[in-house]
């Protein structure tokens, strides 16, 4: 719009001008808004070296809205003076006039009018002089005419105090000819249009250059949650390795499947109120596989299957207590129990990734619920070496190649090993998972054959995700306090690719 006629005029004037011209002056001369000239300058600048423009700021006096009214209609005091007839006017009536209040006091101090307080109908105002000179109006008209410099500093500041004048800074351009100055510029096209393509006019038209430094416009899109993007990748890894997904859509579990079936004794601290969420309603499991329950009870309290047992009084009530599952190993126990009922035994590889719940103290890295990743392999003659071999393949797919194994204690695996990987950033070995062979006291009561071993490992989904996406506070990732900007900005999850530079987080 602005680079049309205004730009052309500007170029013609500039050709005739000596040295250069001022954008504000040109606007006044053409009778257009100053912004229109500025727009023309900018669009000409974008074409290259046709013109040179230097930004200058000048200060200028302008009338306020009230100042403009006075320049047009006269000052309040003059208006008051003129409204008083020869026979005077009641003060109360005068005060009701639009300029009444301000004008009255000013006219009084100018000694143009007087008040007779002894008049019969209350105070009455009379003219003192016959005519007045409206100096304020005259001065404002001078400013309006662009002749503010004719006023003294004192006069200007008095008018400013009365909020009739303001000083504004005007940014103008001093425009001069550029190295490739020409008045003969054809208008540059911004975009290619269908008409240009069909008419072929694009061949003769110049196109405005793009600013390749500017950012593009992000597409409107939905986004997947980073933690669940990582979950998708873990599922993918397990599927690539031939693992079948276990059903885990049961947050509520009986203590039996969560603990007893895993040979975790009933006095174990994990079964404490401090660690586990128990249910008030429904407080107890309604059905348990009683045959199996009896075998579990005997193994705990008396031993069997080659075990000494824990030798304590195992209670059914304790096993019936419903809880929010504390690990997905309860789902693995159910899957292995189902597997044990199928005769003959067929080898199986299982995995699951789902929520688990702990009644723990919360901090920057711990929440009451988190996702557990678990892998299980059941076959004849599996060894610790097999477990380590599978772990190596699994972690290689995560981009983790340096592994070390440390003996550990888990109530339901023996042997047990913690998995450590060397963390390049922290320059130390960090625990990345826990693993082991399920105890015979867990497997044999289920009915699995004696020479079948079951290897298993587990890790949390949150930890690798926080490391992957450089998140320090788990609440920014999981739960309703999530930072949606982080969700919008999060990159693809490619676990085996090199980690990118640490990400900066948006304001919390």
Of 288-347, which residues contact other proteins (CB under 8 A)?
288, 303, 305-312, 322, 324, 347
Is residue 31 involved in binding other proteins (CB under 8 A)? no
Rounded Cα distance between 424 and 405, Å, is 18
Rounded Cα distance between 373 and 144, Å, is 78
Contacts (CB under 8 A) with other proteins, residues 456-485: 477-485
Angle at 53 (CA atoms; ends 52, 57), nearest 5 degrees: 160
Please state the three-class secondary structure of 342-408 as a single string.
CCCCCCEEEEEEEEEECCCCCCCCCCCEEEEEEEEEEEECCCHHHHHHHHHHHHHHCCCCCEEEEEC
Rounded Cα distance between 364 and 474, Å, is 6
Nearer to other proteins, 106 or 231 (CB): 231
Nearer to other proteins, 174 or 420 (CB): 420
Nearer to other proteins, 60 or 475 (CB): 475
Out of 108, 119, 142, 388, name the contact with other proteins by CB under 8 A. Answer: 388
The closest alpha carbon to 55, from 204, 175, 144, 194, belongs to 175
List Cβ neighbours of 498 (8 Å cut-off, separation of 6 or more).
Answer: 399
What is the smallest separation between the CB atom of 357 and other proteins, expressed in angstroms?
7
Task: Dig out the tokens for 34 from the structure.
Answer: 């100053």
Task: Dig out the tokens for 448 from the structure.
Answer: 């699995």
Contacts (CB under 8 A) with other proteins, residues 215-254: 220-225, 227-228, 232, 235, 238-239, 241-254
Q: What is the DSSP letter of 187?
A: P
Count residues binding other proteins (CB under 8 A): 100
Interface characters, 389-428, with other proteins (x: CB under 8 A): xx-xx----------xxxxxx----xxxx-----------
Interface characters, 63-102, with other proteins (x: CB under 8 A): ----------------------------------------
What is the smallest separation between the CB atom of 348 and other proteins, expressed in angstroms?
6
CB atoms within 10 A of CB 396: 13
Nearer to other proteins, 13 or 483 (CB): 483
Contacts (CB under 8 A) with other proteins, residues 351-370: 355, 357, 359, 367-369
**What is the end-to-end Cα distance of the chain in Å, rounded?**
43
Nearer to other proteins, 381 or 425 (CB): 381
Cross-strand bridge partners of residue 62: 166
As a residue count, the chain comes to 508
Nearer to other proteins, 114 or 311 (CB): 311
Out of 194, 282, 425, 502, name the contact with other proteins by CB under 8 A. Answer: 282
Interface characters, 161-200, with other proteins (x: CB under 8 A): ----------------------------------------
List Cβ neighbours of 188 (8 Å cut-off, separation of 6 or more).
Answer: 46, 47, 205, 206, 207, 208
Pick the piece of the chain touching other proteins (CB under 8 A) from 99-107, 134-142, 153-161, 437-445. Answer: 437-445
What is the smallest separation between the CB atom of 461 and other proteins, expressed in angstroms?
11
325 membership: H or E segment, kind and range: none
The closest alpha carbon to 341, from 247, 448, 256, 248, belongs to 448
């Amino acid at each position: 719009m602005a680079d049309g006629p205004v730009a052309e005029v500007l170029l013609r004037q500039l050709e005739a001008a000596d040295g250069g011209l001022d954008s504000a002056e040109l606007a006044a001369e053409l009778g257009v808004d100053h912004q229109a000239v500025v727009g023309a300058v900018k669009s000409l600048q974008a074409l290259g070296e046709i013109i040179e423009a230097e930004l200058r700021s000048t200060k200028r006096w302008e009338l306020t809205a009230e100042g403009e009214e006075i320049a047009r209609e006269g000052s309040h005091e003059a208006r008051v003076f003129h409204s008083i007839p020869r026979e005077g006017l009641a003060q109360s009536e005068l005060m009701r006039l639009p300029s009444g209040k301000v004008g009255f006091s000013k006219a009084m101090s100018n000694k143009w009018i007087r008040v007779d307080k002894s008049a019969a109908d209350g105070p009455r105002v009379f003219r003192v002089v016959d005519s007045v000179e409206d100096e304020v109006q005259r001065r404002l008209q001078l400013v309006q005419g662009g002749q503010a410099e004719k006023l003294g500093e004192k006069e200007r500041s008095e008018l400013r105090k009365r909020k009739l004048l303001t000083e504004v800074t005007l940014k103008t351009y001093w425009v001069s000819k550029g190295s490739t100055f020409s008045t003969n510029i054809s208008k540059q096209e911004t975009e290619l249009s269908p008409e240009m393509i069909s008419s072929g006019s694009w061949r003769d038209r110049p196109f405005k250059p793009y600013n390749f430094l500017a950012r593009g416009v992000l597409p409107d899109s939905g986004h997947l949650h980073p933690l669940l993007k990582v979950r998708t990748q873990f599922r993918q890894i397990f599927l690539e390795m031939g693992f079948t997904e276990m059903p885990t859509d049961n947050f509520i579990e009986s203590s039996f499947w969560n603990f007893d079936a895993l040979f975790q004794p009933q006095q174990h601290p994990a079964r404490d109120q401090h660690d586990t969420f128990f249910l008030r309603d429904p407080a107890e499991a309604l059905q348990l596989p009683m045959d199996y329950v009896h075998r579990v009870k005997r193994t705990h309290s008396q031993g069997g299957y080659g075990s000494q047992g824990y030798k304590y009084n195992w209670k059914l009530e304790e096993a019936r207590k419903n809880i929010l599952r504390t690990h997905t190993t309860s789902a693995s126990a159910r899957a292995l129990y189902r597997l044990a009922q199928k005769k003959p035994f067929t080898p199986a590889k299982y995995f699951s990734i789902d929520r688990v719940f702990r009644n723990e103290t919360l901090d920057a890295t711990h929440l009451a619920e988190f996702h557990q990743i678990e892998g299980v392999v059941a076959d004849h003659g599996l060894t610790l070496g097999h477990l380590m071999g599978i772990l190596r393949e699994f972690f290689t797919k995560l981009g983790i190649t340096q592994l070390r194994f440390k003996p550990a204690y888990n109530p339901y695996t023996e042997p047990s090993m913690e998995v450590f990987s060397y963390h390049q950033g922290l320059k130390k070995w960090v625990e990345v998972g826990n693993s082991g062979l399920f105890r015979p006291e867990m497997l044999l009561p289920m009915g699995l054959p004696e020479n079948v071993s079951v290897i298993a490992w587990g890790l949390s989904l949150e930890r690798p995700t926080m490391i992957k996406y450089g998140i320090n506070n788990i609440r920014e990732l999981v739960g309703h306090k999530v930072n949606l900007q982080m969700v919008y900005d999060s990159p693809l999850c490619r676990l085996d690719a090199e980690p990118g530079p640490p990400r900066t987080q948006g304001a919390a």
